[in-house]
Amino acid sequence: MVLSSNKDWITALTEQPGEAQSEALQDLHNYLLRAVLVYLSVYRSNLAHWSRDDIRVLAEDLAQEALLEIRDNLGSFKGESKFTTWAYRCVINRAASELRRQRYRNVSLDRLREDQPAIFQSLLAEHEAGGKIEPEQMTERRHYLNLLRQVIQQELNERQRTAIVGVHWQGLSMDEVAAGLGLNRNALYKLLHDTRERIKAKLLANHMTEGYILAACED
């Protein structure tokens, strides 16, 4: 079956169960599988210990999950892009999430603690490389980010630092950080809330709020 336009795809996928719909679903599944296999091959460093067969199984699972998600959300497709582009984004988002989980699945609590000082250096480097920035603005950014680093490193205890850096800068999920700290999700939520309140209090004591830091770091 050759489906080229958005209307062709939507019509075929929403028809009553039959040969036409089955062919459309198979074509879509094949498209999603090809897309995610290419994506996983490009970012395979996160799956270095996986065999080709394991990666193929993961790709099949991601394609099938994306297919079901697309079917369930056909009504939300507004036609603002090609249908295949919309479908591609769906499966790639799933693949990206899975790679993030794989990347941090075996990260130890000790590694989280060791990486904390480097987070702010990389954050500053990202901002400095982020385009044309006036020297005065870069100086301001450095001042605010260094103040935030000082508050986090000097005013928080080890558990607070690990939680706030892991969730907000290292991209770990709540479950991963909670497991590393030996907490449940509710306890981690409370720890993060209390930690953010402490940071705010220290910033206010320096006549500054989070808004100043965010404003200084906007492009």
Which residues neighbour 6 within 8 Å (Cβ) at sequence distance 6 or greater?
77, 79, 82, 83
pTM above 0.85, yes or no: no
Domain segments of the chain: what residues? 6-105, 109-217
Architecture per CATH, domain 6-105, reads as Orthogonal Bundle (1.10)
What pLDDT digit, counting tens, does each position of 123-150 carry? 545 444 444 456 666 676 677 777 777 8
**Per CATH, domain 109-217 is 3.40.50.1860:** no
Lowest mean pLDDT across 32-36, 103-107, 125-129, 188-192:
125-129
What pLDDT digit, counting tens, does each position of 29-76 carry? 999 999 999 999 887 776 777 888 889 999 999 999 999 999 888 888
